[in-house]
Structure 1
C-alpha cells in the first residue's frame, strides 16, 4: 500500500458524498423513500460505531480513554449543532447533516488511513461509504429546499467536503508510523461519539418524522448489512 492506494480508499468514502448530493439536488425524491434511505444509513452507521470504531478503541485503550473520547466526539457535534440551530433555526437540518459528515468523517477517514498499513480498512470503507450516500442525499436536498441554496453552491460544498476526506485518509496513512495505538483508539472512539450524536440529533429523528414507524425496519436492514460485512 502506498499514498496513491490510500487516496483511492479515501475516494471510496468520498465519492458517495458527491453522488448522493448530486441525486438530492437533481431530483425531489419521495419523502418516504428519502426517510428509508436515511434510516438504512443510520443502521449501517450503528454497526460501524459498535464493531469498527468503539470496539477496537475499547480493546486497545480501555474504558477510560475510549469513553472520554466517545463523549468528546458527541459533545463537539452537539455543541456545534446547537450553534448552527441558534444561527439558522431548527430547520438547519441540512447543515447539521453536513456537519455530522465532517465531524465523524474526519476521524473515521484518519482511522481508515492508519489501518491500511496493516492490510485492513475494507470493512470500514464499505460501512462509511454506505452511510454517506443517504446522509448526502438528505443533507443536499434539505439545503436546497429549506435554505434556498443553488445547486452549484450546495454541490460545491459537498465536493469540498469529499476532497477533504480524501486528504485526511492520505494524511492518516502517512502518519500511521508515528501515531501511537492509544492515539488511534482515541480517534476511533471520537468518531464513534460524533456518529452517535449525528444519529440521535439529526438523522434518525428526520427519518422518523418523514417515514413513520416503519423506518425502524429500514434501520434494522442497514445494521444487518453492515454487520454481515464486518
Structure 2
C-alpha cells in the first residue's frame, strides 16, 4: 500500500506544481501554446499505448470500441454544458474536466499495474503529461476569470486542483487494493473509456487552444511530446 501511495503522489504532485505555476505567472502565448502542444503529444501516445491498445487486445473491438466512444461522448456533453454555462471562461474548466476524466482511469490503471510488479513507465508518462496540462489549464482558468470578472480567487482555484490531485492519489491506492478483484474486462473498459475522453479533450479543447496561443509551429512541440511519452512507455 505504501508503494501505491508513493506512486500516486509521484503522478499527482506534478499536477499540483503545474497548476501553481499557471495560477501564479502569466506565461508568454508561445510558451503556453508549446506546453499545451507538448502535453497533447504525450496524451496521444498514452491513449495509443497505455489505454486503448491493451483494452483492444484484452476485450476486442466491440467492448473496447464502445467504451472509447462512450468516454468521448461523456466529455463532449460535459464540455458543452460547461461552455454554455461559463461562455468565454470555459476552456480552462474544460481542461480541468479533461484532467479528471483521463486522470482517474489512468490512476486506476497505475494502481492495478503495481499488482503485477509494473508501473514505472506509466508513472513517468502520467507525470510528464500532467505538468503542461495543469499549467495550461490553470493559466487559462486564471486569465478567463480575470477577463470575465467572475470573482473566482486564485486560492479557490488552487484548492480545486489540490482536491483533484488528492483524488487521483486515492484512486491509485484504491486501484492497487482492488487489483486482484478486477476482471480483465473491467480494467479494459476503464482504459478504453479514458482513451475516448482523452481524444475528445485533445480535439475539443487542448489542441485548438494550443494552436490559437502558439501558432503554426506547435506541431513540432506536439511531435516532441509524443516522442518523449512513446519512449518512456516502450
Gaps of 5+ in 1: none
How many angstroms does 1:139 deviate by? 1.2
**Segments of 4+ in structure 1 off by > 3 A?**
none
Q: How far apart are the structure 1 equivalents of 2:223 and 2:71?
A: 24
Aligned to 1:4: 2
CA contact (8 A) 2:95 2:137 kept: yes
1:154 paired residue among 157, 176, 180: 157
User: What root-mean-square deviation, in Å, do the aligned CA atoms of Structure 1 and Structure 2 show?
Assistant: 0.9
How many angstroms does 1:91 deviate by? 3.4
Aligned to 2:61: 63
Deviations 1:143-180 (A, max 9, x none): 11111432211110000000000000111111111110
1:32 to 2:35 alignment: no
Gaps of 5+ in 2: 147-151
How many angstroms does 1:224 deviate by? 0.6
* SS in structure 2 of the partner of residue 118 of structure 1: coil
Q: TM-score, normalised by structure 1?
A: 0.97
Q: How far apart are the structure 1 equivalents of 2:28 and 2:116?
A: 43
How many angstroms does 1:32 deviate by? 0.5
Aligned to 1:94: 92
Aligned to 2:232: 229
Q: How far apart are the structure 1 equivalents of 2:19 and 2:130?
A: 10
Aligned to 1:82: 80
Deviations 1:69-111 (A, max 9, x none): 1111111111111110011114310100000000111111111
How many angstroms does 1:124 deviate by? 1.4
Give the total of aligned pairs. Answer: 228
1:201 to 2:204 alignment: yes
Q: TM-score, normalised by structure 2?
A: 0.95
